[in-house]
Amino acid sequence: MRPFALKSALTNVRTASPIVHCITNYVTVNDCANALLACGASPIMSDEPADVADITSICSSLVLNIGTLNERSIEGMRVAGAKAAELSHPIVLDPVGAGASALRTETACQLLDSLPIAVVRGNMSEVKALAGASSSTRGVDVNPDDAVTDDNLAQSAAFACELAAKTGSVIAITGAIDIIADASCAYAVRNGSALMGKITGAGCMLSCLAGAFAAANPECPLEAAVACVAFEGLAGQKAAQRMKAHDGNASFRTYLIDALCTLTGDDLEAGALVERVL
C-alpha cells in the first residue's frame, strides 16, 4: 500500500472532523469517545430507538458494537442502521463476543444481512462466527486456536477475502497480526503492542476509529481501514515506549489515547508495518 495513502487517510480524518454515531457497549464508551476526539473526529452516543434516527441524520457514519446487548439497544441499532443506509453513511459492525451466545451471534448476523455494512471489525473467532464457520470463543477474546500467525497468514487472508466478497464489506480481523481485506486483495498489518490486550476497549476504540476513517475517506474504504488499523497499532507501540517500571495498564490506556492524539501522518507513513498478502 502506498505510504501516502496511509498519511492522507489520517489527514482527511483530521481535516473533515467527521461526527461518528456510536451505539457501543457501556464498558468502553468513554474511551471510545476520547479516542475519536484524539484522532480529530467527534463522537455522539445514543441507543434510544426514539432518538437514533435523528442522531444518525446529523452524523457522517455509524458504529454498531454488540458488546452489551439489550432489547432497546438492538432496536436502536436497527433503526439507526436503516437511517444510515438511507443516507448512504458508512456503517461499521463490531461483533463483540459473536459465537459466545446465541443472542450475540444472531444479532450480529441479522445486522450484517440486513444492512450495507461497510466494515466488519473483530477478532478471528468473532468473524468466523459471523461467517458460520466452526469456532469457539473465550468470552470476548479470540480463541488461541483461531489466532492469525505467519503459518496460517495466507489461509486467513483468503478467508477474509471470501467473506468480503460474500458480504460486500471490508473485513478487518485484528490480533497480533491484523488482516484487512476486500473481495480482491488482503493486507497484513504488524503494528501494535501486547499491552493492548491488557486493557478493555482497544478493539472497541478501533471500531469507532474505523467509522471516522470510513467517513473521511469514502472513495477508498480498504485503504481507509488499513490506515486506521495501522494508526491504532502504531499508537499502541508509542504508548508502550512511554511505560516506566511503576506504570500499569491504566497508564498504558492513557498513553494510548495520548498517542492517538499526537501521532502525525508522517509518523504513520514512517512507522506503518503493512504488507500485501493476496
In three-state secondary structure terms, 135 is: coil
Find out whether 89 and 215 touch, Cβ atoms under 8 Å: yes
Q: Is the overall model pTM greater than 0.95, yes or no?
A: yes
In order along its 278 residues, the chain shows pLDDT tens digits of 777 799 999 999 999 999 999 999 999 999 999 999 999 999 999 999 999 999 999 999 999 999 999 999 999 999 999 999 999 999 999 999 999 999 999 999 999 999 999 999 999 999 999 999 755 555 566 788 899 999 999 999 999 999 999 999 999 999 999 999 999 999 999 999 999 999 999 999 999 999 999 999 999 999 999 999 999 999 999 999 999 999 999 999 999 999 999 999 999 999 999 999 99
Instruction: Give residue limits of the domains in the chain.
Output: 3-276
d(CA 46, CA 23): 6
Helix axes 102-114, 124-131, angle to 10 degrees: 70
Positive/negative CA dihedral, 34, 39, 41, 46: negative
- Would you give the end-to-end CA distance of the chain in angstroms? 12
Is 3-276 CATH 1.25.10.10? Answer: no
Residue 248's identity, in one-letter code, is G
Positive/negative CA dihedral, 206, 130, 151, 269: negative
